[in-house]
Amino acid sequence: MSAPQPFDLLGPLPCGVTVLEASAGTGKTFALAALAARYVADGLPLERLLLVSFTRMATGELRSRVRARLVQAERAMASGDPGGDEVHELLLAGDAATVALRRARLTAALARFDAATITTTHGFCAEALGGLGMAGDDDRGATLLPEAGELAEQACDDLLVARWHHDQSESMLFSRADALQIVRETVRNPTAPIVPEHGTQTVAARRAAFAERVRRDLERRKRRARVLTYDDLLTRLRDVLKGPDGEAAAVKLRERFDVVLVDEFQDTDPAQWDIVRIAFAQARALVLIGDPKQAIYAFRGADVHAYLQAVELAGHQLHTLGTNFRSDGPLLRAFDGLFGEIALGDDRILYRHVEPAPEHADARLLRAGAPLRIRVAHRDDGIDVTGGGLAQVDSARAFVARDVAAEAVALLASQARIGGERLAPGDLAVLVRTNFQAQAVHEALRAADVPAVSGGAGSVFATPAAEEWLVLLEALERPGQATRANAVALSCFVGWSARELAEAGEVAREELHRRLHGWARVLRAAGVASLVERLVRDGRLAERLLARRGGERDLTDVRHVGELLHRAATAERLGPTALAAWLRGRADEVGTEDDDQERTRRLESDADAVQVLTIHRSKGLEFPVVLCPYLWDGRHKDEANGPIVFHDPDHNGRRTVDVAMEGAAYAAHHRLYVTESRGEDLRLAYVAVTRAKHAVVLWWAGSSGSRSSPLSRLVLGRGADGTVAADAGRVPTDPVATDAFAAMADGAPGCIAVERAKPRPDARWRPPSTAGTALAAARFDRSLDARWRRASYSAIVAGAGDHAPGGLSEPEADVLDDEPAAEETTPADAGSPWDLVPGGRRLGTLVHEALEDVDYAASDLDAELSAALATAPLDPPSRAALQAALVTAIDTPLGLQADNLRLRDLKPADRLDELAFELPLAGGDDPTGDLTPGAIADVLAAHLPADGPLAGYAERLRTEVAPQHLRGYLTGVIDLVARLPSGRFVVLDYKTNRLDDLSPSGLAEAMQRSHYLLQALLYLVALHRYLRWRRPGYDPAAHLGGALYLFLRGMNGAPGAGVFAWDPPAALIVALSDLLEHGDPR
């Protein structure tokens, strides 16, 4: 691997494969956004730029940062003032014509920013599979899940029963717990081969055969259930690219994107790297940005070896960012002393010195001592000691937790200042490895009266709140059962003490049962969300929880569990009994859900408090002062003999899963696994300390696990060649350890201090006194923008004429033509099934729901409709009549504009039901002007033919719709978007209105009278924006197919009957889109 070169953000734009190593705090997102702006200004169309990150949160930030960078660059070029930004100075260099061209490109990119592809890896894979069609193995109707843990568990259990129910010797291979562990590891690494080879009948080989069988069975189950996981998206796209048609698929992807920028690339895995390499290594530019020193997600399947393979491919195009914009200069020198020129788990992953930003060259935290302090916990200061003279682990952990609290008190009470302000609790963060450690520190801080909040500290299903929810749900299954009622009485939902329960009389117990019956009715009738609100109101839940110590934490957990229960009940239609079983299942899974974001406990408060969170959760964040209490604690799961993942040196470093759990080969593989795991421990230490802006405090204690801990190995196990041993050897005495730390500190004079952690049992924080502070009611002096709102078509036309739709977002008005033209009247045929169907809005809602669920192309359409209408609140004759009427409508040709297609001819892949949209009006969050119906009318008048049948609608819109000023957002839901065989896309809207005149002119009059033409225009603008964003090479004139309004009561089977077809000029839709986006410039 060649030595990296400093990256020049102002130099030539990268070409080919380039790897940009960005150490912590060096501004990789800033660099990436600047590169995006430079590529665009250089002439790259925004839609030919692909930006990828690995999480939704990171992708959201990336999208915001890129857009902000484009805005800043465009404004700088408009004003001619670079504002001290070197990139802006570069873009402003050149003759006037060149600068004007760059600005025009940036302006065009901003206007089409919603066409930019800035997405997660999984989002890109899903879009690519869809774009590749059949070659992409794309199942458009599949449900996408983060993981398939429940299906995997079912496959495991079924195979255990099927194979071993009648063979006790087979059951001795492993327990169900071992089987589940094997399944989780193999499913988590779906592309990794499984060893040992399973051609023999050894116990280890049979375990491997079991793992392979479950993997295959899980794949069948997912396809049968039409379920896809994020990993499936990766493996399917990778398989396409490595298959016989792979080169054609890769060319198709490269035809869409010239430049690809991938963020956080150290978190990639082999499948993702295969996709990126095969598809884009031959592109104009593939820039991979990451930091291997922060590769800490192996437990999620990330593989730093894939990053290292990319470095090898890049060759001499490996660059580094050399300036740290986060940390103070003295703290960076302390990091140099701590890490030196060491390798962090691999000799290709090196710690690199970085320079501080000029404005951070000196310490910004004053009067706080050395920026890096190491506190040594001495065994003779009250820590229990083992027979071998080592600190007893639990005792040492508890001692350190108490010292963390005491240190927090000392820092908050000290004279330390940042910019003249004393330290506040919110300036401190405690970073730990495990949820157990987080809980211990949190409790110690609370005992010292230091406000603290925990984020990412374990699963919410492992909390007392989850247990109390389970007690409640079990009681609501049988609200009359005394033992269950008693359990609820002692829970937070009722709040009785044991004494109150023992002394409760008949009246109190009857009231308790009455309350439980009421709550059960609410749960059955209205769901979990309504139950939560009833609990808060009737049971005074919030008041009771907030009155006790730690109540804010408890209330947060109770609401969080309630929210997850609501989602599960809604998605899976679970009643109380099934919901209780679901919650038990989630509790049983605690510790196996791979740090699921939804299940992770939330911050209980945004108040000024010390944050306690895991190192994994802290990645990407920064804090003024960081405390790392447990980098000395090296006891991890790597000692267990379970299934392991390692890189096999006999197969070119291939990522491999070993499920043998015994034998000489497994032992050798286990040693490799431990070495890799401890390399990641070093990277975790790097991530932890580099979150700090000004100061870091570390702790060390001499326990049996200390020798394998990252802190001990960094100081005591470091080799002269920069390697760090997986084991630091014999645990030294406390004085010897202190001397070793002091020797290390000599390498960074004045930047590292070593001190003894003496007990401070009486440490309590006393917030600064506010006595004498004059209090006054806050004054609201901000002006409110009364015109800013979230508008819909129905809200815009409310009150227009005599027959305007009501206030529902997508109404079905009962429109009756007061003055029908007799000669054009074509009423519904006598005996039409619609005669037996009642009208009204409820019918409109019912029809919309049924048509959304039905597969028009089903071989048995009657059965599909019957199932969709099974729960309709209609009597049997009306239900049968509606079913017959809808069959006729679905079989009616839609007219020439739709290529005489019927709804029945639409395949599921060619329809998009209930497309919800939310579009910015006149600037959205940052209003740029106003929008009025009159301005829309002006655009209509300018584009509609003066002699056309709809020519008068512009004036009608101007006079009938109430004058109003709109800005904010336009929201709505399109009933159906259909793709025609011609490749055009049309908007379809279902109407169940009763119309006396169903002739073309009658339909046109109804469309104008109810302002459905305005609705159609707004929906076509939404479709235009959607296609502009999603479809490569989109051309409004070629791809927009207009609108079809289906008046279902008139669709009697004749071609075009009951269908109002309108194909407005594409220029009208584009002009209206621009008007909605920017407002009326007048």
d(CA 807, CA 168): 68
848 is annotated as contributing to ligand binding:
yes
d(CA 882, CA 871): 13
Contacts for 757 with CB less than 8 Å, ≥ 6 apart: 375, 376, 377, 378, 381, 399, 400, 403, 699
d(CA 425, CA 678): 32
Environment class of residue 259 by beta-carbon count within 10 Å: exposed (0-12), middle (13-18) or buried (19+)?
buried
Contacts for 79 with CB less than 8 Å, ≥ 6 apart: none
* Amino acid (one-letter) located at 298: A
Q: Which segments of 589-644 does DSSP mark as H helices, in order?
A: 615-618
123 is annotated as contributing to ligand binding:
no
* Cross-strand pairs, 695: 625
Contacts for 157 with CB less than 8 Å, ≥ 6 apart: 176
825 is annotated as contributing to ligand binding:
no
Residue 803 in contact with residue 813, Cβ under 8 Å? yes
Instruction: Give, for 454, the enclosing helix (H) or strand (E).
Output: strand 452-455
d(CA 108, CA 102): 10
24 is annotated as contributing to ligand binding:
yes
Residue 815 in contact with residue 993, Cβ under 8 Å? yes
Query: In terms of Cα–Cα distance, which of 804, 878, 890, 867 is closest to 842?
Result: 878
* Amino acid (one-letter) located at 987: V
Distance separating the N- and C-terminal Cα atoms of the chain: 61
Residue 289 in contact with residue 612, Cβ under 8 Å? no
d(CA 892, CA 461): 53
Question: In the structure encoding, which two tokens stand for residue 1030, read together?
Answer: 């999603």
Collapsing DSSP to helix, strand or coil, 969 comes out as strand
Residue 480 in contact with residue 638, Cβ under 8 Å? no
d(CA 205, CA 658): 10
Give ∠ CA 573-578-581 in degrees, rounded to 5.
Answer: 135
Contacts for 387 with CB less than 8 Å, ≥ 6 apart: none
Instruction: Kindly report whether the peptide bond that precedes residue 196 is cis, defined as omega within 30 degrees of 0.
Output: yes
d(CA 16, CA 108): 26
Collapsing DSSP to helix, strand or coil, 191 comes out as coil
Residue 222 in contact with residue 137, Cβ under 8 Å? no
Give the DSSP letter of residue 870.
T
989 is annotated as contributing to ligand binding:
yes
Question: In the structure encoding, which two tokens stand for residue 1, read together?
Answer: 């691997």
495 is annotated as contributing to ligand binding:
no
Query: In terms of Cα–Cα distance, which of 959, 1037, 995, 1055 is closest to 813?
Result: 995
Question: In the structure encoding, which two tokens stand for residue 255, read together?
Answer: 């035809």
217 is annotated as contributing to ligand binding:
no
Residue 624 in contact with residue 162, Cβ under 8 Å? no
Query: In terms of Cα–Cα distance, which of 657, 181, 163 is closest to 172?
Result: 163
Question: In the structure encoding, which two tokens stand for residue 947, read together?
Answer: 């002699």
d(CA 244, CA 257): 22
Per annotation, catalytic residue among 269, 633, 681, 989: 989
25 is annotated as contributing to ligand binding:
yes
Question: In the structure encoding, which two tokens stand for residue 578, read together?
Answer: 């099934």
d(CA 347, CA 967): 57
Cα dist from 13 to 2, 113, 284, 289, 1035, whole Å: 20, 21, 10, 14, 30
* Cross-strand pairs, 375: 699, 755
Determine whether 608 is an active site residue: no
* Cross-strand pairs, 970: 791, 919
* Amino acid (one-letter) located at 994: R
1063 is annotated as contributing to ligand binding:
no
- Which residues define the annotated binding site for Mg(2+)? 848, 975, 989
- Which residues define the annotated binding site? 22-29, 848, 975, 989
- By annotation, the residues acting in catalysis are 989
